[in-house]
Amino acid sequence: MITYELVLADGRIVDGCGNPWYDGDLAIEQGHIADIAPAGSLHGKQTIDVNGRFIAPGFIDIHTHSDLSILVNRRAESAVRQGVTTQLIGNCGMSPAPLDEAHMTEQKQQWGPISDQPEVSWGWHTFGEYLDTLQGGGLGINIASLAGHGALRIAGMGLSEGMASETVLHKMKILLAEAMQAGAFGMSTGLVYPPGCYASTEEIISLCRVVAKFHGIYASHIRGERETILDAVAEAIHIGRDAGVPVQISHNAPKFGAPCDASANLGLVEKARANGQDVTVDNDLHTDLAPALTGGLPQELQDLPAEEIAALLRNTERRAEIRAEIIADRKPAFGPVGLLKHAQWQRITLLHAPHSPEAVGKTIQTIASERGCEPFEAYFDLIVENGHAAEAIFDYIDEANIRILLKHPAVMICSDGQVLAPYGFLNEPPPYSPCSYGEFPGALERYVRDEPVLSLQEAIRKMTSFPAQRLGFRDRGVLREGAWADIVVFDLERIHDRATNLYPHPYPFENYPHQYPNGIDYVFVNGSMVVGEGEHTGALPGKVLKNSH
Ligand SMILES: [Zn+2]
């Protein structure tokens, strides 16, 4: 009889492919799944009885922004505690590589204060050197990466607003080819953020042709997720068709101000698929986002130093122009700005404002009536008083759209979060990011167990084999002999997200500062236990995964 290193005994095995669970033992040996057999039939040097609990492939989070935070917290605390064993970084046009020395300041500016942390050495230039840095210090989870179009553009022309010249475009293509060769899984864009919002469709198509040569994907935070959402989805599909690349439409819930519900954008995806084009979608299950108030300003002002922004807003004439520009929204701004445009001030709750403590926890609507001014004026005044430090929770997504997306077979579940931890720099002050702590347990708790929007096997498929297929992982995302042992063991009865605050939320928030979820008992990454009995073991067995096609 074979004695394996480790056996998970008598669990309910959900294989990741969408099949209902079955009872079984699962053996791990040398990083891989060595055997799966009827309960009670496998023997291990170590055996963990997981009776009554589910054994699933580790969750693959296809949309995250952990590019720098994983360097600060290599244990990947908030991710692995959710059962995530692989993340895709480099989304929304942002990646810290390639890095051009001449444009270091602009590249750093994109990331804010974390870029000055000692763990973030900026000791790389090429994409490959950045991947080496990631692997060098060890990782709690596996990391795969996209090359950000914004990083390519910054390396070519900084944050300039104009078109990319032939010379710049040529340089961007060379850097992109280098990144693809080094193992990038494709290119991402963030077409509502600087500098992506300055790029033409043609610029993106010509870059995607490079991606096509290496069989990568095009992932896009599209050019507007509200009033222009259908045009923006159509643009992404057009780019994919013209360049010959598969398209991944990122976090594709319509935001407040969209003229339609999610079935309209999904309709365009279905049509493209019916025409033979490979287009898929991901979405996060939260209705809120907590950006800085300055993120609501027109794109070219967002990154100015706080004093310059304050000076502009103190000038009555400029203030009126900025307000008109926000409402006109000619270069569609990111989702939350819909609440400004459509005067939904009761959906914006102030979270941090060091110089206006009396206003924290109140909506802009309430702050304005207390101050006896118009809400737009209160919004601007809070920026003048607090600069980039003013942050608010924008409740800008209708949960009905989240359900529509969840049920669609071409939609995967992603977090759109990043690796965080309730200690150290990443918790000073605690960021409001429920998706970073509670995405996957929350999905199982709210949409599988408490309200059966999805079957368990379908939810697991959207977290495992489906994103694995999108990224070309043949040996992850499923429970099968020979696959890498990326595994989560969870208790569906006990599972509980302790990071999400459902809207309308009272203040203080029930689940903020965020805590790790309950019910995620064991997590294995490449066969090593990273979470055991709900606690991090300190192991760093994660690998940098590289596109090799
Ligand atoms: Zn995005």
Tell me what pLDDT residue 117 has. Answer: 98
Ligand 1 centre distance from Cα of residue 247 (Å): 15
Ligand 1 centre distance from Cα of residue 292 (Å): 15
Q: pTM here? A: 0.98
Tell me what pLDDT residue 1 has. Answer: 86
Ligand 1 centre distance from Cα of residue 394 (Å): 15
Ligand 1 centre distance from Cα of residue 317 (Å): 32
Ligand 1 centre distance from Cα of residue 243 (Å): 22
Ligand 1 centre distance from Cα of residue 221 (Å): 5
Ligand 1 centre distance from Cα of residue 94 (Å): 9
Beta carbons within 8 Å of 73's beta carbon, 6+ residues apart: 419, 420, 421, 424, 426
- Count the residues in the chain: 549
Ligand 1 centre distance from Cα of residue 219 (Å): 10
Tell me what pLDDT residue 457 has. Answer: 98
- The predicted model gives 200-209 an average pLDDT of 98
Ligand 1 centre distance from Cα of residue 190 (Å): 6
Ligand 1 centre distance from Cα of residue 409 (Å): 21
Tens-digit pLDDT profile for residues 336-350: 999 999 999 999 999
Ligand 1 centre distance from Cα of residue 92 (Å): 5
Ligand 1 centre distance from Cα of residue 463 (Å): 18
Cα angle 84-89-94, degrees, rounded to a multiple of 5: 150
pLDDT band at 455 (very low <50, low <70, confident <90, very high): very high
Tell me what pLDDT residue 303 has. Answer: 85
Tens-digit pLDDT profile for residues 280-333: 999 999 999 999 999 999 999 998 999 999 999 999 999 999 999 999 999 999
Ligand 1 centre distance from Cα of residue 420 (Å): 18
Ligand 1 centre distance from Cα of residue 321 (Å): 27
Residue 549 in this model has a pLDDT that exceeds 90: no
Q: Is residue 317 within a helix (H) or strand (E), and if so which, with residue range?
A: helix 316-328
Ligand 1 centre distance from Cα of residue 63 (Å): 8
Ligand 1 centre distance from Cα of residue 149 (Å): 13
How far is residue 417's CA from residue 76's CA, in Å, rounded to a whole number? 12
How far is residue 506's CA from residue 521's CA, in Å, rounded to a whole number? 30
Q: CA–CA distance from 8 to each of 12, 26, 450 (Å)?
A: 10, 5, 27
Ligand 1 centre distance from Cα of residue 549 (Å): 26
Ligand 1 centre distance from Cα of residue 416 (Å): 7
Ligand 1 centre distance from Cα of residue 169 (Å): 23
Ligand 1 centre distance from Cα of residue 152 (Å): 17
Ligand 1 centre distance from Cα of residue 251 (Å): 7
Q: Which two tokens stand for residue 533?
A: 């009995």
Tens-digit pLDDT profile for residues 457-515: 999 999 999 999 999 999 999 999 999 999 999 999 999 999 999 999 989 999 999 99
Ligand 1 centre distance from Cα of residue 536 (Å): 29
Ligand 1 centre distance from Cα of residue 528 (Å): 32
Ligand 1 centre distance from Cα of residue 65 (Å): 9
Tell me what pLDDT residue 387 has. Answer: 97
Ligand 1 centre distance from Cα of residue 479 (Å): 30
Tell me what pLDDT residue 236 has. Answer: 98
Question: What percentage of residues in the chain have a pLDDT greater than 70?
Answer: 100
Residues at Cβ < 5 Å from ligand 1 ion: 92, 221
Q: Which two tokens stand for residue 260?
A: 């339609």
Q: Which two tokens stand for residue 208?
A: 């995607």
Ligand 1 centre distance from Cα of residue 22 (Å): 37
**Per DSSP, which regions of 250-401 are E strands?**
279-283, 288-289, 348-352, 391-395
Contacts of 426-429 spanning 24+ positions with Cβ under 8 A: 426/69, 426/72, 426/73, 426/114, 427/513, 429/352
- The predicted model gives 185-212 an average pLDDT of 98
Average pLDDT, whole number, for the chain? Answer: 97
CA neighbor of 17 nearest in space, from 423, 549, 480: 480
Ligand 1 centre distance from Cα of residue 12 (Å): 35
Tell me what pLDDT residue 528 has. Answer: 98
Ligand 1 centre distance from Cα of residue 61 (Å): 14
Residue 413 in this model has a pLDDT that exceeds 80: yes
CA neighbor of 490 nearest in space, from 117, 12, 168: 12
What φ, ψ does residue 43 adopt, rounded to 5°? -125, 135
How far is residue 185's CA from residue 197's CA, in Å, rounded to a whole number? 22
Ligand 1 centre distance from Cα of residue 459 (Å): 22
Tens-digit pLDDT profile for residues 144-156: 999 999 999 999 9
Beta carbons within 8 Å of 190's beta carbon, 6+ residues apart: 91, 92, 93, 94, 148, 149, 150, 196, 197, 221
Q: Is residue 233 within a helix (H) or strand (E), and if so which, with residue range?
A: helix 229-243
Please list the residues that pair with 89 across neighbouring strands: 145
Ligand 1 centre distance from Cα of residue 480 (Å): 33
CA neighbor of 470 nearest in space, from 209, 205, 281: 281
- The predicted model gives 159-179 an average pLDDT of 97
Tell me what pLDDT residue 548 has. Answer: 84
Ligand 1 centre distance from Cα of residue 157 (Å): 22
- The predicted model gives 407-427 an average pLDDT of 98
- The predicted model gives 344-371 an average pLDDT of 98
